Amino acid sequence: MPEASADALVLTAPPGAGVLDAAAIDLARAQLPKSAIGQERWLGQGEAWEVLFATEPEADRGALRQRLASALAPRPVDVNIVPDGAVSRRKKLLVADMESTIIQQECLDEIADRVGLGARISGITARAMRGELDFAAALRERVGLLRDVDASILERVYESVTLMPGAEPLIATMRRSGATCALVSGGFTFFTERIAGRLGFDVQQANTIEVAEGRISGTVADPILGREAKLAALQRLAQDRGLDTSETMAVGDGANDLAMIKAAGLGVAFRAKPIVMAQATASVVHGDLTALLYLQGFTRADFA
């Protein structure tokens, strides 16, 4: 008969919100069989708490997670259950989407807003991120609408980009722990090169928007990096570093991130579209990117 395994229930909340307290912990603990509860600890006081508990092989973790989330509602607390293992819980490779994940903006939408095409282009973006449109076709359509726009707009948009809260400690802490961090985006190298340098990513990969004589050409260089290319990047980076899939983490928000999120040892939907949240191992809706560190068992004291 298969033996019970050890899982970690991890509760995370927005830093400083004060919603993860003793009462919330009691509500969560009450959903677990008393005989199964093991070690528990604060990972970050008032921000993140975890408890190890035994689960049977046939246990429905999704149903348990839903019960826990219902018990804690309406508090803005993210509930996740992750396998606890000394070897694989702290990941050695992070592959992250950029737009609406590592940064708060969608760069194409920002460009469009500045040239009076905001509603038209953002509508296409939203449909593509929900998985309703082919990603490559949607990207070509949006960029085509920007033909002849002065390319200096790219620099102006970059200057307005803001990092997602928690991005800096996430990358710094994982790199200090020996992990490789890769920024893999369906956006443009103009932005990934700068964001990767700013945060210290080891690797960056994205599409190239073509520019001629100082103006956007309205085309994207082939091949277009989309859903399958992101998956391939995860697999290639893991293989090159001799890593097992269980040692990898992927995070993103859109449908084009779903393949890599499902393939990673820990796939995280970050403030994501419903199609992504439904299929990811873990999801973060309320907290910031430091939640990804807490999911790996890092404490606040471990943060770089």
Q: Using one digit for the tens of pLDDT, what is the confidence trace for 235-248?
A: 999 999 999 999 99
pLDDT above 70 for 205? yes
Contact 14, 76 (CB under 8 A): yes
The 3-state secondary structure of the chain reads CCCCEEEEEEEECCCCCCCCCHHHHHHHHCCCCHHHEEEEEEEECCCEEEEEEEECCCCCHHHHHHHHHHHHCCCCCEEEEEECCCCCCCCCEEEECCECCCECCCHHHHHHHHCCCHHHHHHHHHHHHCCCCCHHHHHHHHHHCCCCCECHHHHHHHHHCCECCCHHHHHHHHHHCCCEEEEEEEEEHHHHHHHHHHHCCCEEEEECEEEECCEEEEEECCCCCCHHHHHHHHHHHHHHCCCCHHHEEEEECCHHHHHHHHHCCEEEEECCCHHHHCCCCEEECCCCCCHHHHHCCCCHHHCC
Residue 129 has a pLDDT of 82
pLDDT above 70 for 4? no
Mean pLDDT of the chain: 92
Residue 1 has a pLDDT of 33
For 45, how many CA atoms within 13 A lie in the half-sphere containing its CB? Answer: 1
Residue 57 has a pLDDT of 60
Residue 167: pLDDT band with limits 50, 70, 90: very high
Residue 42 has a pLDDT of 96
For the segment(s) 86-304, the CATH number from 3.40.50.1000, 3.75.10.10, 3.40.470.10, 1.10.3720.10 is 3.40.50.1000
Spell out the CATH class of 1-84. alpha beta
| Average pLDDT, integer, range 109-129 | 89
Q: Using one digit for the tens of pLDDT, what is the confidence trace for 31-75?
A: 988 878 889 999 999 999 999 998 766 667 888 889 999 999 999
**2-6, 146-150, 165-169: segment of lowest average pLDDT:** 2-6
Q: What ranges do the domains of the chain cover?
A: 1-84, 86-304
